[in-house]
Chains A and B, each alone.
Chain A
Amino acid sequence: MNNAVLEPSLSPAAGTAVKRRMSFWRFARRYPSVVVGGLIVLIMVLIALFAPVLAHYDPTRPLSDGLSQMGAPLPPNHKYWLGTDTEGRDVFSRVLYGARVSLEVGFFAGLISLFIGALLGIISGYFGGWVDMVIMRLTDMVLAFPFLLFVVALVAVMKPSVTNVFIAIGVFGWAQMARIIRGQVLAVKELEYVQAARSLGASAWNIIFKEVLPNVITPVVIYLTLAIGQNILLEASLSFLGFGVQPPEPSWGNMIQEGMAYFQLAPWLIYAPGLMLLITTIGFNLLGDGLRDWLDPKVGR
C-alpha cells in the first residue's frame, strides 16, 4: 500500500527477475507439512500402483504353508514379513492391495463430490435467488441425513461393492463441498473485478470460468485433499461393517474386522492395516493443512 508514494516512477526497472524460486530446502523448512504429507501420499500412491510388483503372494488365496500345524496364523517372519491371517494368506500382500482400494475410493469419491459440489455450489452462489434457496435446502437435507442409515439402505437395495462405496461417499460428500464453494463464490462475485467483467460484456458462464473459478480453486484443492483422507476412513468404516469391500478382496477396513476376533492371539492382523490407515490419513491431513498455509494467504504466514 505505502509504495503509492513511488508513483512517479511509472515503470519499475524491467528485467529484474520478478519471481524468486525458493530452494527445496527452504520450502521444506517453511512448510514441513506439505513436504511430509506429500511424501506420505506419494509413497501410498506408489504402493497402490505397484502392489502387484511389490506383493510376493496372491492376496486372496490361502497359502499351503500359511498356517501353523495347529491351524493358527503365523506371526511375522522372514518369509511372511507381516505374518499371515486366519485363512493363511500373506498379510503384507493384503495390506499393499488394500492401499489400492483405499486410495481409489478416497480419490474417486472425492472427485464425485467435487464435481457435484462444484457445479451446485457455483450455480447456487453465483445466481442466487430461489435457485440458491433450493440448492441450499437440499444440502441441508443431505447433511442432516444419517450417513450410515443411507449406506445400509443403499446396500439393502444393491449388493455391497466398491462401486457402491464410491457412490455412497461421493453422493454424501458433495454437500459439504457445495457449501464451501458457494461461500467462496459469494465472496468473489461481489469483487469489483467481477463487476468489471460484467461491464465489459462478459456472459455469466464466461465470468464463472474466467474470473470466479480461478479464485475459488485454492480452498477447493485444500478441502479436496482433506476430504480424500476422510473418504479413506469412511471406506474403512464401511468395509469394517461389511457394507464395503467383500472378503476375500482385501481392504484395510475388512482386514481389521477379520483380525479383531483374534486380536490377543495375532495382534499383527490389526496393527498392519490399522497403521497403514493411520499413516495415510495423517498424510492427507498434513498435506491439506500444509497446502492451506502455503496457498491461502489469508491464514497468514
Chain B
Amino acid sequence: MSDALLTVSNLKKYFPIRKGVLRRTVGHVKAVDDVSFTVQKGETLGIVGESGCGKSTMGRSILRLIEPTGGEVKFENTNLTKLSKGSLRTLRQKMQIVFQDPYASLNPKFKIGTILERPMQIHGLYTPAERRKRVASLLERCGLDPSAAEKYPNEFSGGQRQRIGIARALTLNPSLIVLDEPVSALDVSVQSQIINLLEDLQEAFSLTYLFIAHDLSVVRHISDRIAVMYLGQTMELAESLELFEAPLHPYTQALLSAIPVPDPDVKRERILLRGDLPSPANPPAGCPFHTRCKDAKDICKTKKPVWKEVRPGHHVACHLYS
C-alpha cells in the first residue's frame, strides 16, 4: 500500500458565470477548489459530500472529461493535465468511469454486444472473435447471461444496466475506475448486490476505485479511506474506520450523526446543520463551512484553514486543530 496510482494536487475547476450581451465573465462557480489527495494502488478511496459539492465534477476533471482549470493530476508517472489529446486517448484505457444513471449511460440504439465491443474496437485490441469471447466472459463475470449481448439496453432493469456499465469499464483492463455514484439510482436491495460485485471485481482484477457517493453507509462499506468534501474543498480525509470512530471536522461529525441507527433504544446526539448550503458562486470567506458550523470561531470567518495531517494518515482542514 505504498505505490501511489493517482496523485491529485491542487486540482481546480472553475465554471465562469457569464452575463449580458457580451457574455462577459462576472464571476466563477468554484466547483472544485484546490483539492489534493493520493490514491494508492489497489485501494478504494471514497469521496462523500452533499449534492452540488463538486464530487462528480472532480471525478470528471481527474479523467479530463472536463478540462480542469488548474492543478495537476498524476496517473502512475504521467501528468494527465499536460498530456496531448492523442496520448490522453491512449491512456484512457487505464482509467475508466462508471456513471450514476444506468438509463442514460448506454446508447439505446446499440445491442449490448456492440456497446461492449466498442472500447476494444476504438483501441484496436483483439480480433473480432476474441472480442466476442471477451464480451461473453465479462458479462458472465458481472453476473449476466452471455446471451445479453444480443439484446438492447431497454430490455434490462436498472441494476442489470449498471452491471453492463461496469462490464464496459472493464473491457480495456483498466487499473483505475472512477465510480460516480454507481448505486444511488438503484433500489436499496440492488445496491448491495452491485457493491458486492464491485468488491469481487476489485479483488479479481486488482482494481483501484475512486468511489463517489453521497451515502455514507454505502461508502463506509467499500472504502479503505474516505475524503469528505464541502463546497468544492476537502474537509477531512482519513482511514475509513478512523473517520467513523473519531471524526475531527465538525462537518464530518454532523454528517455522521445523520446516519440513522437501526436500534430504537440507542440515544444519540444529533448535530443539526443550520441553514442552507451556500452558493458555490459566492462561497463564504475564510472556512467555507463557518456559516453552518457549531464550533465556528472568529478566525474561521476570515482565514481559510490549511489542509494538514493532524494524525498519521488523517488530514483535516479546520482551525480547531491548528
Contacts and interface: CB of A to CB of B under 8 A. Distances in A.
Whether A associates with B in a native complex is yes
A211 B172 CA distance: 19
Contacts of A215: 107-109
B186 to A, nearest CB: 7
Main secondary structure of the interface of A (DSSP, over half): helix
Interface string A68-108: 00000000000000000000000000000000000000000
B145 interface: yes
Given A18-B151, A201-B92, A4 B186 contact: yes
A15 to B, nearest CB: 8
A18 B143 CA distance: 21
A214 interface: yes
B122 A199 contact: no
Interface in B140-180: 143-145, 147-148, 151, 155, 157-160, 165, 168, 172
A211 B193 contact: no
A40 to B, nearest CB: 30
B65 A199 contact: yes
Given A7-B190, A196-B97, A211-B107, A206 B144 contact: no
Interface string A21-62: 000000000000000000000000000000000000000000
Contact of A4 (B91, B99, B143, B187): B187
B101 interface: yes
A112 B266 CA distance: 73
Contact of B122 (A3, A10, A12, A206): A206
A143 B99 CA distance: 40
B104 A200 contact: no
Interface residues of B, number: 45
Given A197-B118, A201-B122, A192 B89 contact: no
A215 B107 CA distance: 8
B21 to A, nearest CB: 12
A11 B101 contact: no
A87 B232 CA distance: 82
B92 A199 contact: yes
A4 B158 contact: yes
B193 A195 contact: no
A198 interface: yes
B70 interface: no
A202 B122 contact: yes
A35 to B, nearest CB: 25
A196 B105 contact: yes
B103 to A, nearest CB: 8
Nearest to A5: B187
Contact of B106 (A14, A193, A203): A193
Contact of B157 (A7, A201, A203): A7
Interface in B183-242: 186-187, 189-190, 193
Given A195-B65, A196-B97, A200-B172, A11 B190 contact: no
5 residue pairs, one from A and one from B, having the closest CB atoms:
A11-B145, A201-B92, A192-B105, A201-B89, A7-B159
25 contacts: A4-B157, A4-B159, A4-B186, A6-B157, A7-B159, A7-B193, A11-B145, A192-B99, A193-B104, A193-B105, A193-B106, A196-B97, A196-B165, A199-B63, A199-B95, A199-B96, A200-B119, A200-B122, A201-B90, A201-B91, A201-B93, A201-B119, A211-B107, A214-B107, A215-B107
Interface of B: 60, 63, 65, 88-93, 95-97, 99-101, 104-110, 118-119, 122-123, 143-145, 147-148, 151, 155, 157-160, 165, 168, 172, 186-187, 189-190, 193
